[in-house]
Structure formats: structure tokens, C-alpha cells
Amino acid sequence: MRSSWTGRILLALAGSRRLEAFVRRHGKRLGVDRFVAGADLEAALAVVRELEARGFGTTVDRVGEGAREEAAADDAAAAYLELLDGIGRVGSRAHVSVKLTALGLDLDREACRGRVEAIAGRAKAAGSLVRVDMEDSAHLEATLELLGEVRRTHPEVGVVVQAYLRRSREDLLGLIAQGVRIRLVKGAYREPPDIAYQRRDAVDRAYLDLARLALAAGAQVAFATHDTALIAAIQREAAAMGRQREQVEFQMLYGVRPALQREVRDAGYPLRVYVPYGRDFYPYFMRRVAERPANLAFALRQLRDRAR
């Protein structure tokens, strides 16, 4: 969902190898630290503990996507197992999010499923939960299919629904019927108009429709957005349906609208912060910049000031 031309260009640049090399080299100066908790596990765990001490829930994401070889997918899976051990070790209640392409979805599907099952098993042992992020629409069917397979042995594994996709109402109803834990988001990728709403107001309307539907069905749903109008509307709907505040979870990204995060928490709603860490931050960072091109101006100012 991108209504501004700068946003669209920035999302297109998320695939640029040359820009990736530049951003990787100058990551710190470009302000990557605002959105990414650190390069390694210990940095992520430190942020998680600090957030939990302040009354926030957390979801940890080891950044990375699009594994091109099995070894890279194995590395990603091993990092998640280590992360879950770390979560258990420090007594955290963090959840984890995985991207299936990082775990080899485009390679050997069976091997990918095995990795997700191993992660889900380790999560259970650590008292954590796994949610599968939703990537671009080219991976949607395969993601839902694999989720269905994994849920035969790990029914607690959840998934993300993107409001910008025209098909999401049907997907959401199907997932609710199966009792799947859902995170509702607007959607962060560049998708064509035949499958995705392009206008911001259409996406916002779709989001609220899906939110109402999920609330009315009593689904296990978390509302991931920084949109104050949507948050207020969902809070009103939930109250009208007699939901207690502690039953209505909101989720936001590390570094995005921290004052709003505190405000929602202070109002008595569970607020879960999505904490990304790792070295392969480029596509994640570019999606955050595309969501709010003012972030790019910030990044460029940082570079200019340091160059002086």
C-alpha cells in the first residue's frame, strides 16, 4: 500500500543491490539503529528485556529474507533456535516472527517446513510463540499452505493478514474458522491494483472492516498499526462489543511512534513491540523508510551532517 510516488520508488529500491551495499556500509549513519535493535542476539535480548521491564510485550524478528541456498536457510533456522534459547535463558516472554523465504520457502518446501517445525517446537519449550510474517503476494499461497501443514503438529503458530489485499476478507474468515492466531496489518509491499487497494483511504476502510469482523468473531487477533484513527476506531468497536481492554492487543514496530506506544500501553491495552535484529537489515529498513519518506530526509540529513 503506497500512495506517494516517493514511497513507491523507495519500495522499488528495496531490491537494489548497489543501494543495499551503500546502506549496509553507512547503516549507522543513515539511522538504521532507529528501527533495528542491533546486529546480534545479545543486543536484541537487551532491548527485549528493557521493553518488558517497561510493561511492553515483544516479538523478535531476525531480519532476513529470500534465502538463495539451503545453507543460508539452515543458518537462519539455527539463529532462531539460538534466539529461542536466549529468550528462555533470560526469562523473557518474547514471541518470535519468521519470514518463510528466509527459511527456504523458494528452495525445498519440505526442508522449509522442517525448519519451521523445529522453531515452533523450540518456541514451545521456551514458553514463546511463533507467528509467520506475510511477505509479497507471490508467496502468499505457499505461506498459507505451509502454515496449514505446520499447524497439524503446532496449532499455536500464527500468521499475518494484510488488509491491502482484496482477497484478505476471505482468507481472514478461513483462518478464523480454523482458530489461527492472527496479526492484522495494512501491508508493506508493492502490489498491483488488480489484487491490492492502492489508495490509503481504501486500505484503511478494509483494515477497519477486517478488524470489526475479527472482533465480532472473537478471533485471536492483534492489531498491528501506528494509525491513531484506526486504533481509536478499534478501541471504540471493542468497547461496544463488551471487550475488556486487556483482551485487545496492539502491536507496533521498534522505533516507530514510541510516544503512541506508551500512550496505548498506559490506557491499559497490551502493546507488543516488534523488535528486529541482525545484519541483513536492508529490505526491512527500506520498507520502513518507504512508509514515511520523511525517514529518508532524516537519513540524508544524518549523512550530510556527518560528512561536514
Q: Which residues does the annotation mark as catalytic?
A: 133, 183
Count of residues near ligand FAD by CB under 6 A: 24
Among 96, 115, 83, residue whose Cα is nearest residue 157: 96
Binding mask 138-177 vs ligand FAD (x if CB under 6 A, - otherwise)? ----------------------x-x---------------
Whose Cβ is closer to ligand FAD: residue 128's or residue 225's? 225
Q: Compute the least distance from the CB of residue 292 to ligand FAD, in Å.
A: 4
Contact between 226 and ligand FAD per CB under 6 A: yes
Contact between 65 and ligand FAD per CB under 6 A: no
Out of 150, 165, 188, 234, the only residue in the binding site for ligand FAD (CB under 6 A) is 188
Out of 44, 83, 134, 231, the only residue in the binding site for ligand FAD (CB under 6 A) is 134
276, with CB counted inside 10 A (0-12, 13-18, 19+), is buried
C-alpha–C-alpha distance, residues 59 and 129, integer Å = 9
Contact between 128 and ligand FAD per CB under 6 A: no
C-alpha–C-alpha distance, residues 47 and 70, integer Å = 30
Q: What are 222's three cell numbers?
A: 492483534
Contact 94, 48 (CB under 8 A): yes
Q: Which of residues 228-267 bind ligand FAD (CB under 6 A)?
A: 251-253, 256-257
Q: Compute the least distance from the CB of residue 111 to ligand FAD, in Å.
A: 22
CB atoms within 10 A of CB 141: 9
Per DSSP, 279 falls in state S
Strands 95-98 and 158-162 come out as unpaired
Q: What are 97's three cell numbers?
A: 516472527
Contact between 187 and ligand FAD per CB under 6 A: yes
Contact between 185 and ligand FAD per CB under 6 A: yes
